[in-house]
Structure 1
Amino acid sequence: MLSQYSHTVPDCTAGYARGGAALTVTWAGCEDEVRAAQRLRYRIFGGELGARLPGPARESGLDADRFDPFCDHLLVHAASATGQPLLVGTYRVLAPDGARRAGGFYSDAEFDLAPLRALRPRALELGRSCVHPDYRNGGVILALWSALGRYMLQRRLETMIGCASISLAGGPEAATAIWESLHPRYLAAPCWQVRARHPLELGSPRVPTAEPTARFAPDTPPLIKGYLRCGAMLLGPPALDRAFNTADLPIMLRLDDLAPRYRKHFLGQH
């Protein structure tokens, strides 16, 4: 079962040239394309990052869960030497109607999102962001975000929420340092702050939180930096995701808060 939006997303194809690579952005329109996204997700999360995915995922080589049928799946392809487009990036997008049919957002299992209740009718959830290791120069993420901006305008949506993950492969110290460096500047107002259902036990960071003049702590994931530069806010301390062995920071970006330098790129003339 595909999301009802998979065949009705207007202006679904766009071309980009980033870092010397020609990129094409589309929305998945068939089961095979969703499976390709799930295969890339499995490669990144299960193979590269060591997530403890369930047995069916290991057997199939697909990262799939119960939310996928209710989501729209955004894909970025690059030209390859074989002539066949290579899938190099993906996001899944859970729009308000899909969330209602799914019984909520994926993030509801990690956080008490009650403070965001008033925003939910015009909010989408982003998840499962991943980029092929050979294409992590920022171009793929920019192409994905441009498509997301058009998607939100077409549906009159105002808010993006989601979880940004920090690997715990080396222990919780790096995640602690990142949180301590970011929350003084980027923590949302109290009315928007959420509570983690399984909080990460924060300890004493063993790496510097940041230089006094630095904006981000060492080892802050590029995706988190990108969200915050765009105008996103942290909604509270990280949750522990045992299956993916990550610290998950709750993040929210409202289009009204989009930084001016990104507004035209993501929203065109709007």
Structure 2
Amino acid sequence: MRDLPLPTQPLHDLTGRDARASRRSLPGREAASSAGRTRLVVAWARDEAEVREAQRLRHQVFVDEMGARLSPPQGTPAGLDVDLFDAYCEHLLVRAVQDDDSAPVIGTYRVLTPDAARRVGGLYSETEFDLVRLRSLRPTMVELGRSCVHPDHRHGGAILALWGALAEFMHRNQLDTMVGCASISMRDGGHLAASLWEQLRHTHLAPIEWRVRPRLPLPVAELRSDLAVDAPPLIKGYLRCGARVLGAPAWDPDFNTADLPLLMRIEDLPAKYRRHFLGHEPIASL
């Protein structure tokens, strides 16, 4: 049984105006896009065909654009990014509704709920990190993963729309913690990732009781860590929303990335973001 008790609620236009009614075939949250007359509609995948759309976009971004080497299950159709966790996850989709009535998926997240994690036997993040210290958080903790946006739509609107739907989902289902791996390209050999870790461990490191260990550590001692670097936009956005770094990065040779373990709690969401995503002031607990 899937862990999606309620459909996604209507989205208030991110520009502050009332959003136009979404198409009946695409129930979900809607936002105005800066790309001309394109509308962004956010909804949870309802069937295998919609999950396939997300997996096709993931393949385009991770394999065609980033050069990842995937090992999908036997029998997976060509052009899809599929792994064993997908069947247990909820898949959040952003569609770009065009004037010609087309609505391709241009952004996606997958969400593994606590019940689903128990059924599949763990989290994807556990393939990269020892998460034993997060045991106490697991009853209300979800894992976010495989986030990506089509290169033509990386203007911020798609990610904001996804985050709004995720925040609403968390609040509605009394979940309070998100965990996941944030990837940093290794195309420069890992120096950017090592330097970013050196910065963030002084400013955004989680308390010792939540620290985790990478199974295949990035060899930061062998890399430059003195570069003046900016966090990638997605990581920068997480940090602004109160995310904490759980420990040193892991090396993912298949995706050619350094992965930072991040944790974000709803109670740490700054007031302005809570109002933006949830429409109310901070509360003590969910």
Q: Same fold (TM over 0.5)?
A: yes
The answer (yes or no) to whether the contact 1:173–1:203 under 8 Å persists in 2 is no
Match of 2:260 in 1: 249
Structure 1 residue 189 displacement after superposition = 0.9
Match of 1:259 in 2: 270
Structure 1 residue 92 displacement after superposition = 0.1
* Corresponding residue SS for 2:240: helix
Question: Pick from 137, 162, 172: which aligns with 1:119?
Answer: 137
Listed as ranges, the matches of 1:47-196 within 5 Å are: 47-54=64-71, 60-80=78-98, 82-196=100-214
Structure 1 residue 264 displacement after superposition = 1.0
| Alignment-mate amino acid for residue 50 of structure 2 | E
Structure 1 residue 71 displacement after superposition = 0.4
Structure 1 residue 203 displacement after superposition = 4.0
* Corresponding residue SS for 1:252: strand
Question: How far apart, in 2, do the equivalents of 1:114 and 1:223 lie?
Answer: 26
Question: How far apart, in 1, do the equivalents of 2:125 and 2:99 lie?
Answer: 39
Question: Pick from 43, 46, 56: which aligns with 1:29?
Answer: 46
Which deviations, in whole Å up to 9, do the C-alpha atoms of 1:179-221 show, x marking residues without a partner?
11222100111111111111111146558533xxxxxx23x21
The count of aligned residue pairs is: 261
| Alignment-mate amino acid for residue 34 of structure 1 | V
The answer (yes or no) to whether the contact 1:6–1:29 under 8 Å persists in 2 is no
| Alignment-mate amino acid for residue 139 of structure 1 | G
The answer (yes or no) to whether the contact 2:8–2:29 under 8 Å persists in 1 is no
| Alignment-mate amino acid for residue 48 of structure 1 | E
Question: How far apart, in 2, do the equivalents of 1:172 and 1:209 lie?
Answer: 11
Structure 1 residue 7 displacement after superposition = 7.5
Question: How far apart, in 1, do the equivalents of 2:116 and 2:2 lie?
Answer: 8
Structure 1 residue 170 displacement after superposition = 2.0
Question: How far apart, in 2, do the equivalents of 1:6 and 1:149 lie?
Answer: 14
The answer (yes or no) to whether the contact 1:96–1:122 under 8 Å persists in 2 is yes
Question: Pick from 2, 5, 11: which aligns with 2:3?
Answer: 5
| Alignment-mate amino acid for residue 80 of structure 1 | Q
Question: How far apart, in 2, do the equivalents of 1:131 and 1:205 lie?
Answer: 30
Distance 1:58 1:176, change over 3 A: farther
Question: How far apart, in 1, do the equivalents of 2:253 and 2:7 lie?
Answer: 34
Structure 1 residue 248 displacement after superposition = 0.4
Distance 1:57 1:196, change over 3 A: farther
| Alignment-mate amino acid for residue 4 of structure 1 | R
Instruction: Please identify runs of 4+ aligned residues in structure 1 that moved more than 6 A.
Output: none
The answer (yes or no) to whether the contact 2:198–2:225 under 8 Å persists in 1 is no
* Corresponding residue SS for 2:184: strand
CA RMSD, Structure 1 to Structure 2 (Å): 1.9
Greater percentage in helix:
1
The answer (yes or no) to whether the contact 2:8–2:44 under 8 Å persists in 1 is no
1:16 aligns with 2:27: no
Question: How far apart, in 2, do the equivalents of 1:261 and 1:8 lie?
Answer: 26
Listed as ranges, the matches of 1:205-224 within 5 Å are: 206=224, 209-210=227-228, 217-218=229-230, 220-224=231-235
* Corresponding residue SS for 1:127: strand
- Of 221-230 and 75-84, more deviation after overlay is shown by 75-84
| Alignment-mate amino acid for residue 140 of structure 1 | A
Structure 1 residue 18 displacement after superposition = 3.1
| Alignment-mate amino acid for residue 30 of structure 2 | G
Question: How far apart, in 1, do the equivalents of 2:54 and 2:85 lie?
Answer: 14
Identity over aligned pairs, percent? 51
* Corresponding residue SS for 1:5: coil
Which deviations, in whole Å up to 9, do the C-alpha atoms of 1:33-89 show, x marking residues without a partner?
000000000000011000011265986110000000110000001123542102110
The answer (yes or no) to whether the contact 1:67–1:106 under 8 Å persists in 2 is yes
* Corresponding residue SS for 1:4: coil
Question: How far apart, in 1, do the equivalents of 2:70 and 2:107 lie?
Answer: 20
Question: How far apart, in 1, do the equivalents of 2:155 and 2:32 lie?
Answer: 12
